Structure 1
Amino acid sequence: MKTFTLLFLLITIISVCLSRPHHDVGGGGFTLDLIHRDSQLSPLYNPANAPLDRLQNAFLRSISRASRLLRRAGFASKIEADISGVMGEYLMEIQIGTPPVQVVGVADTGSDLTWAQCQPCKYCYKQTGPPFLVPSSSSTYESLSCESKPCLSLSDNQLFCDANNLCHYKMGYGDRSYSLGDLATDTFWFGPTPLKNVVFGCGHENNGTFSEGASGIVGLGGGSLSIVNQLSSIIQGKFSYCLIPYFSETTNQTSKIHFGSEANISNPNVVSTPLIKKDPPTYYYVTLESILVGNNNVSKKQSSSKNEVHEGNIIIDSGTTLTFVPREFYSDLSSRLIEAIEGESVPDPQGMFEICYKDLNIEKVPNVTFRFTGAEVVVPPVYTFLAVQKGISCFTVVPSDDMAIFGNLLQRNLLVGFDLVNQKVSFSPTDCTTNMQ
């Protein structure tokens, strides 16, 4: 009996130790890989696509994603595009459950609820690679009731209750893609770091244009059900990412996403701008005050009661490749840019971009500086102009008549940090191929 008691105590001690957060979480931080969907490390990688094909596909996804974000924000989108795989451009590998099961989720700063496909699955999209979650196989899985706080945080059109008073969610994505399932909690593993009672969606019916290589979505938005807000007491509402150059020759490297203490940005080159609270709270709104071309030519709204700069007129989004700026900014921006560039202007073969050049000498193209409130972000021409086909380069900033988006192409080699407690986003020029903190 004593042997049994000692064995029981030993198992209990081991179990408690394993359930405690990794020592880094004691300091409030951990780091994960962000894998670009077109990277050779990605389960979505298609070796049949040439680099230009991948870039064109990213542009098309960008336009489709912008349409989805606009609709979510309440705008009647004027963008007509087939929406396919537009949850985001980066993947995160995490684990869910006890014992842990691998999940490859699309990291999405434009979504809050994290969800993954679960068995039994009534109607599910084909999933290759990682296995489906099986709730009955996890000893830490718990369904949530309709009176639970997470359930009540869903909007009326996102939830319904069954006869047993269990909470079910439904997320729609604009192209009639959707995920429907149980709202639940389980232990999430971020690398070796276990965190208990994380709310997520266990999807039993998921259909549409989701990517086969991904299990679901990892929600990194600003809403209450996002991973960032759920883990706020541990990570202090902080996360940051550093995106390696789009066509990095280093194929075995990934971008990084940092949480908590490892997301701190502290160097002399950091600039910060306030986050603006608007609906939907998912998005990270900031205020774009003006745009500088080179050193002198400024594109901005003229200050008047009719045309003053509106707070929160652009969102920071890692899942959109292109950058969309307000139309009134774009008119001046394009004219100043054309004045500064000596080159042969040509139409975009795909009809997507307004400013394109043949055999562009990138060394003669000026920097473009985005002037947010309190923060100037300088973007070199290697990210503002990209080759869309051999010999033709186009300006990757396009006009928007509604909500504007600061996309991930212009965030390359920037350490971008979000602080949801102090309501600010920070930028620091960084060589992201060496940012391994």
Structure 2
Amino acid sequence: MCVFNNTIKGLLNSSITQGALASETITFKSSTGEPIQVNDIIFGCGHNNTGVFNDHEMGIIGLGRGPTSLISQISSTFGGNKFSQCLVPFHTDISISSKMSFGQGSEVLGDGVVSTPLVNKDGGPLYFVTLLGVSVEDTRFEISNNSETAPKGNMFIDSGTPPTLLPQQLYDQVFDEVRKQVPMSPITDDPDLGPQLCYRTSTNLEGPIITMHFEGADVQLTPIQTFIPPGAKDGVFCLAFTNTSNENAGIYGNFAQSNFLIGYDLENEVVSFKPTDCTK
């Protein structure tokens, strides 16, 4: 066992954790229901955690490309360097869990699947993809003047960041168009909501379809993925997008990933999306 001191950084935050590094046998359930034990899995236990960590979170699973991530450690045992996830929508009953599959059999297949290439930037651990533009219903906005010249790997998929972050100009265009297409007046008298685009409604908000145009894959988002109740404010729904000043790197957050079966094939360097009811 050894002591570790690790800094976790992202576009949104920086967190520091100190603790112990160890190895242990971990048991997974196979697709047949039988348990599978994997020996000598390296993991850390943080004893001094600062930043965005809180007492309600059990921990973080490493799903990146790094050599000590869970995916990298179990790929040879489970028949392939690939995995998939299906995140339940925000505010789903806590008795219903999101699901993950690892290795052979975790491929995302069938009708409705779209795939986009992964962009490996400098051998880093993050999963970068290329966003060409965003449509609000039939109105499309490009991330650059020419979608064919959009920077490769300009957005990374992050299951740990809730909202989707767009470069400022693109965000402003999406914000304005959504406001134009929602047939309601936005909330302007609540300082707690700040500059967010929010609406009061007694039922789920009926908002426009927002399409993320990734290279080779159009991912259509419904209001369940694009409008989220903010905290304890009942009857309020806010646009689940925000802005970043970084014009070359956005984040595809977990609100937008909900109710999609998303598969990461690290052998063929693609990520695939399939609309799915993740609560079932």
The bucket for the TM-score relative to the shorter chain is 0.7 to 0.9
Q: Which residue of 2 aligns with 1:233?
A: 76
**Aligned counterpart, 2:250:** 404
Structure with greater strand percent: 2
Instruction: Report 1:254-273 matches (<5 A).
Output: 254-273=97-116
| Structure 2 counterpart of 1:171 | 6
Kept in 2, the 8 Å contact 1:302–1:308? The answer is yes
By how many angstroms is 1:360 displaced?
8.3
The 5 Å alignment of 1:140-289 reads: 168-173=3-8, 177-182=16-21, 184-191=22-29, 192-201=35-44, 205-208=47-50, 210-212=53-55, 216-235=59-78, 236-249=80-93, 251-279=94-122, 281-289=124-132
Partner Cα distance (1:212, 1:365) in 2: 35
Note if contact 1:284-1:315 (Cα within 8 Å) is conserved in structure 2.
yes
Counterpart position of 1:317: 158
Separation (CA, whole Å) in 2 of partners of 1:416 and 1:380: 16
Q: Distance in 2 between matches of 1:168 and 1:363?
A: 49
Judged with a 3 Å threshold, the aligned counterparts in structure 2 of structure 1 residues 409 and 245 are, in CA distance, closer, same or farther, namely same
- The one-letter amino acid paired with 2:218 is E
Cα contact 1:301–1:308 (8 A) shared by 2: no
Deviations 1:46-76 (A, max 9, x none): xxxxxxxxxxxxxxxxxxxxxxxxxxxxxxx
Output one character per residue of 1:122-141: Cα deviation in whole Å (capped at 9) or x when no partner. xxxxxxxxxxxxxxxxxxxx
Q: Does 1:368 align with 2:210?
A: yes
**Higher RCO, 1 vs 2 (CA within 8 Å, ≥6 residues apart):** 2
Q: 1:312-357 deviations in whole A, cap 9, x for unaligned? A: 1111111111111122221221222222222212235324443223
RMSD, aligned α-carbons? 2.7
In the TM superposition, what is the alpha-carbon distance from 1:288 to its structure 2 partner?
A: 0.8
Q: Please report how far the alpha carbon of residue 246 of structure 1 lies from its aligned counterpart in structure 2 after TM superposition.
A: 1.9
Question: 1:364–1:232: structure 2 CA closer, same or farther, 3 Å change rule?
Answer: closer
**Percent identity between the aligned chains?**
34
Shift of 1:361: 7.5
- Structure 2 residue aligned with 1:114: none
1-structure distance, mates of 2:205, 2:162: 23
CA apart distance, 1:363: 6.1
Structure 2 Cα separation of the partners of residues 248 and 254 of structure 1: 9
Decide whether the 8 Å contact of 1:199 with 1:225 is kept in 2: yes
Query: Which consecutive unaligned segments of at least 5 residues does structure 2 have?
Result: 30-34
- Structure 1 Cα separation of the partners of residues 41 and 197 of structure 2: 46
**Larger CA deviation: 388-397 vs 266-275:** 388-397
For normalisation by structure 2, the TM-score amounts to 0.83
Number of positions where the alignment pairs a residue of Structure 1 with one of Structure 2: 264
Give 3-state SS (helix, strand or coil) of 2:256's partner. helix
Shift of 1:179: 1.9
Q: Which amino acid aligns with 2:40?
A: N
Is contact 2:107–2:265 with CA below 8 Å preserved after alignment?
no
Q: Does 1:345 align with 2:183?
A: no
Judge conservation of contact 2:25–2:40 (CA < 8 Å) in 1. yes
* Cα distance in 2 between the residues matched to 1:361 and 1:233: 48
Tell me if the contact between 2:158 and 2:251 (Cα under 8 Å) persists in the aligned partners: yes
Report the alpha carbon displacement of residue 224 of structure 1 after superposing the two structures with TM.
1.8
**Tell me, what secondary structure is at the counterpart of 2:170?**
helix
Contact 1:222 1:283 in 2 (8 A): yes
Maintained 8 Å contact 2:86/2:259: yes
Q: Which of 235, 259, 266 is the equivalent residue of 1:413?
A: 259
Query: Does the CA contact (< 8 Å) of 2:162 and 2:253 recur in 1?
Result: yes
Measured after TM superposition, the shift of residue 304 of structure 1 is 5.1
Structure 1 residue 197 displacement after superposition: 2.6
Larger Rg over CA atoms: 1
C-alpha change, 1:218 and 1:385, in structure 2 (3 Å) is closer
Q: Which amino acid aligns with 1:234?
A: T
Distance 1:418 1:352, change over 3 A: farther
Could you tell me whether the CA contact under 8 Å between 2:116 and 2:216 is conserved in 1?
Answer: yes
Q: Write the deviation string for residues 236-270 of structure 1: whole angstroms up to 9, x where unpaired.
A: 11111111222234x43211111112312111111
The structure-2 alpha-carbon separation of the partners of 1:302 and 1:213, relative to structure 1 and needing over 3 Å to count, comes to closer
